[in-house]
Amino acid sequence: MKTKKMAVSAMFIAVGVLVGNVIYIPVGASKCFPIQHTLNVLAAVFLGPFYGVVNAFCISLLRNVLGTGSIMAFPGSMVGALLAGIIFRMTKNRWATAAAEVLGTGVLGGLLAVPLAVLTTGQEASVLLYVPSFLLSSFGGSVIAMILLKSAHFVSAVKKSV
């Protein structure tokens, strides 16, 4: 079972780095990568909170190494993945999981990005700089995840893999 979860996790990471880098929307001080948030919700549903956080970390790290991401990807994606995974484990409700991704990334991750931005840039940063763009990105990604989770073919294919 662990091997299957690791394989699905690796696929999610690959999709996050390869496809996620192609689809982005520049908003304010950050780039919105909705595919990251789609994968956070999918990982929460199919793999659990641990794999979700590890996936978010690996995607953020690889995007930074490749020069396509920013350090702000870490707090947003990881907090969102953790909260989504915990909420799904507790409720088994996909809508609550998507909402937890938006709350975790959009609000909590956006708030955590502010001191990180101050620390890394040495300049003042505002909550209004990160929270709205993180909310937009995580909302868009969560909508995509909910559409995928409504697809019976997609769900059955992933369930067979895990």
Which tens digits make up the pLDDT trace of 108-127?
Answer: 998 998 888 788 777 777 76
pLDDT in tens, 126-151: 767 788 888 988 999 999 999 999 88
Distance CA 20, CA 36 (A): 6
Whether the predicted model's global pTM rises above the 0.85 cut: yes
Distance, in Å, from the CA atom of 125 to the CA atom of 120, rounded to the nearest integer, reads 11
DSSP structural state of residue 26: E
Give yes or no for a contact between 102 and 87, defined as CB atoms under 8 angstroms apart.
no
8 Å CB contact between 162 and 5: yes
Domains of the chain: 2-15+27-161 (1.10.1760.20)
Structure tokens at 54: 């590890």
Residue 2's contacts (CB-CB under 8 Å, 6 or more residues apart) are none
